[in-house]
Amino acid sequence: MTVHFHEEDLPDGVLAGDGPLAVDTETMGLVTRRDRLCLLQISDGSGDEHLVRFAPDSDYAAPNLKAILADPNRVKLYHYARFDLAAIEYYLGVMAAPVFCTKIASKLIRTYTDRHGLKNLVSELLNEDISKQQQSSDWGGAELNAAQREYAASDVRYLHRMRTILIERLEREGRLEMAQACFDFLPTRARLDIAGWEEHDIFSHS
């Protein structure tokens, strides 16, 4: 297991293939249009994680990374895809779909709990523990320390295995089709967030 660190883009030939990719982002905050994309984590589930860092003055060109993210034949795995999709589209200019979101899958299938964070899922489904200590750290600094890199890598390390378990449970309970419909809507939900409807439910009566 190796964490690879890159500046501004992935090297040529990295993550070639057609299998699913686990993806996550780190930003300066939770307001997409204000808080820039600092880091993108990506893994094909083979045991290595790739971290791509963007400088404060980045033009987010990243042709290799964009090509992989925009590939319509590769499913992208996220935990809370809504946020990551918006950040990726706003800064990198691509919609990183099709999507599988472990948080939505968890909410549809783990109805016996209200604990749907990544740490909770990894603990229950995989019997492993991850640290969230670096969750609120400064991702825009000149250097990312070892703890930050490990935290970022762990956000994509477990998604492939969890997806397999969650699909089995969704199929068992007859909710896989409903889950897929939710996943298919997420790009539109992310674009609504970017356009200013992040705090409004356009499906509500009021």
CATH number of the domain to which 186 belongs: 3.30.420.10
Tell me whether residue 203 is in a domain.
no
pTM of the complete model: 0.95
Q: In this model, does residue 133 exceed pLDDT 90? A: no
184: its two tokens: 């298919």
Mean pLDDT across 124-130: 94
Name the residue range of residue 58's domain.
Answer: 3-197
Section 60-71 average pLDDT: 98
Q: What CA–CA distance (Å, rounded) separates 144 from 152?
A: 10
Cα-based angle 4, 8, 11 (whole degrees, multiple of 5): 55
205 in a structural domain: no
- Which pLDDT score is estimated for 134? 63
- Mean of the per-residue pLDDT values for the chain? 95
Q: Are 134 and 148 in contact (CB under 8 A)?
A: yes
- The edge-to-edge listing of strands for the beta sheet with 49-53 is 3-7, 49-53, 37-43, 21-27, 76-78, 99-101
Structure confidence by residue, pLDDT tens digits, 24-57? 999 999 999 999 999 999 999 999 999 999 999 9
Cα separation, 160 vs 98, in Å, equals: 15
- Helical segments of the chain, H only: 63-70, 81-92, 102-109, 118-126, 146-157, 159-172, 176-192
pLDDT at 120 over 70: yes
- Nearby residues of 34 by Cβ (< 8 Å), 6 or more positions away: 28
CA triple 29-147-43, angle to 5 deg? 75
In a domain, 202, yes or no: no
Percentage of the chain with pLDDT > 90? 93
Total domain count, the chain: 1
Q: Give Dmax over CA atoms of the chain in angstroms.
A: 50
Does residue 119 lie within any of the structural domains? yes
Question: Does residue 35 lie within any of the structural domains?
Answer: yes
